[in-house]
Amino acid sequence: MRKTVVFMVIAFLAVWAHAAELHSPDGSFRLQVEVKDGVPVYQLDLDGQPVIAESRLGLEVKGMEPLTGGFKLIKVDERSFDETWEPVWGEFKEIRNHYNELGVTLEQEETERVMVVRFRLFNDGLGFRYEFPVQDNLTYFVVTDEKTEFAMTGDHIAFWIPGDYDTQEYEYTKSRLSEIRDLMEGAITPNASQTPFSETGVQTALMMKTDDGLYINLHEAALVEYSCMHLELDDENMVFEAHLTPDAIGNMAYMQAPTHTPWRTVIAGREAKDILLSNITLNLNEPCAYDDVSWIKPVKYVGVWWEMITGKSSWAYADLPSVKLGETDYTKVEPNGRHAANTEHVKEYIDFAAEHGFDQVLVEGWNIGWEDWFGKSKDYVFDFLTPYPDFDVDELRDYAKSKGVRLMMHHETSSSVRNYERHMDKAYQFMVDNNYNSVKSGYVGDIIPRGEYHYGQWLVNHYLYAVKKAAEYKIMVNAHEAVRPTGLCRTYPNLIGNESARGTEYEAFGGSNPDHTTILPFTRLIGGPMDYTPGIFENDVSKYNPDNNSWVNTTIARQLALYVTMYSPLQMAADLPETYNKYLDAFQFIKDVPVEWDDTKVLEAEPGDYITYARKEKGTGNWFVGRTNDEEPRVSNISFDFLEPGKRYVATIYSDKKDAHYKKNPKAYDIRKYVVTSKSRLTQKCAPGGGYAISLFEVKDKKETKGLKKL
């Protein structure tokens, strides 16, 4: 790691002024911080164009004078920082962390309390947080509201989902800020656990575009020991204010000095790709907490999952109205005949994984208790240890090992968090004893302890506790229904995946709009990778379950592209083996595409319309390209100038046929091969709901190019 730090202390500013100014390392961003009539405010410009208009800062605390006014500026600390670090896994081999920092120390004259607002200005945006040093008048305190503002400069176009304390599993709405209020009711669609809070409340990461073409993203980084931030819009003045998730009694965060809040982030740029390529969220997190990371490996997997999601099979072994763990005797229960997680069936998935080079097989529904797991507010719902009678742990462990494959554990908590914590050590040890090294955890339903929310401080603490506890057993975690990521995977890289958004499962719950995956990289993925579970080749869900008439709104070519555009070190081929066996020529791309990268380029992008990524495979000269499209037919024009000059590559292009359409003809695809160089260009038609994927393998032998045309 290469690091340069320059410190400056400019204490004299407090004597002569009530303001400070900071520029980004390249000079493009300018931050102004001021105390006006005792109120700290900030504003941000990009090349002289306002990004954030004058916005107030502060917090309200329980039983005390609010930390929103009565301040004087007593000190300004400034420093520059420049390092290059290597992530354990990621979209880049190296990441540069280069910023100028401003620490503004404020004293509230009446109470003699001190608050520091620390700003870090990068070449792609801003991060800032509140810090509270050790002091006599502010040690233990409770945050009841955060008054941080983000004042917009106009009625921007926004890509938003409803503010909610319990779920992010909504489709995105594209609208003007002024239209959010009228559209909110229709945007709130049913979910297993949901608590929307306002007619104008939205969630981060929030993506916006101004009328003069500026792209702006609001989010947070390093969410630790605090509650998740939403944004409440004052739609008369176009000002967002932070809105924190409360706990069961209405408090937002319990603090003990010395302490600090998470970072609030503003990413901005002239091009859409500036948002996608920003590493601000990661850079505002602490370096890796582990000395040994050799056990953390990206994973490509298949699993016994989609057949249950579609309703073809069941998680439950039997049909029982009531189960009591330790009392219900499953050896005396009549099986329902639909249970998917049985030994022989799981062996079929293991065989498929081994044949096609996948690392792991996820098995859901292996453990007792699924008959009455959901919606009962049940505390002792699972023990995470006891298999159903038809799931032989020892036999499957040994069989998978003989095939060079691991099984992936599944821990559904049913949001009984207290129950999960009481079983966690034994559950993780059980994994170690049976050759599992990764777990998909779930938090479906309302939280126990009752009254807590998925995104409150108590649960935020739990999610991180689970990750750190898993690290003690060298286990990787993929948490579903947890709080959306804020870059903590830099510090705790065994957090290799999250859901925390509307994923592929909703394609079996009525379908998602084709533009959904052209928005997610600008929103949910700003905080970290998503276990989106792509790879669905059968659009008609009724083929699996006659009672489910859902339709997967995509072409096959677009499903392939998702492995490149939806970044994750954890990628699933989610469809059924028997379906893939019908399309093995297209399935080849899923087999070829890696999950580790050395470099990433954005070739084309517009939120809600299209995204084209190119990524370089880790440790090789091979590249992969993916393009996802919304519901409109479009033409993609790309250059291969990211390839190494002087070298030749065999490009295999998996594209939509001319008559392909996500509704009318989704399985129409073409596969063709060319020789390409850094001087090649491609013009490719993309169907409605379609896209394309390209593998680019460096030519090692002239025989590989025989009979191929040059592009």
**Active site (catalytic) residues:** 505
Taking the C-alpha atoms of residue 204 and residue 202, their distance in angstroms, rounded to an integer, is 7
Taking the C-alpha atoms of residue 90 and residue 108, their distance in angstroms, rounded to an integer, is 43
Residues 6+ apart with CB under 8 A from 114: 74, 105, 106, 107, 108, 132, 133, 135, 138
Beta strands in 94-224 (DSSP E): 95-108, 113-122, 125-132, 140-146, 149-151, 157-160, 173-176, 201-203, 206-209, 215-221
CA angle 515, 637, 212 (to 5 degrees): 65
Question: Are 113 and 38 within 8 A, CB to CB?
Answer: no
3-state secondary structure of 417: helix
User: CA nearest 410: which of 361, 362, 476?
Assistant: 362
- For 239, the token pair is 């000002």
Omega into 258 within 30° of 0, i.e. cis?
Answer: yes
- For 105, the token pair is 């120390």
Write the DSSP string, 193-214. Answer: S--B--SSEEESSEEEE-TTS-
Beta strands in 557-640 (DSSP E): 570-572, 597-606, 610-617, 623-629, 634-639
Residues 6+ apart with CB under 8 A from 298: 89, 496, 569, 570, 595, 596
| Burial classification of residue 209, based on how many CB atoms lie within 10 Å of its CB (0-12 exposed, 13-18 middle, 19 or more buried) | buried
Question: Are 173 and 160 within 8 A, CB to CB?
Answer: yes
Taking the C-alpha atoms of residue 645 and residue 679, their distance in angstroms, rounded to an integer, is 8
Task: Find the largest Cα–Cα distance for the chain.
Answer: 83
Write the DSSP string, 543-577. Answer: GT-TT---B--S-HHHHHHHHHHS--SEEE--S-H
- For 425, the token pair is 């050590």
Residue 654's H or E segment, with its range, is strand 649-656
CA angle 165, 168, 173 (to 5 degrees): 115
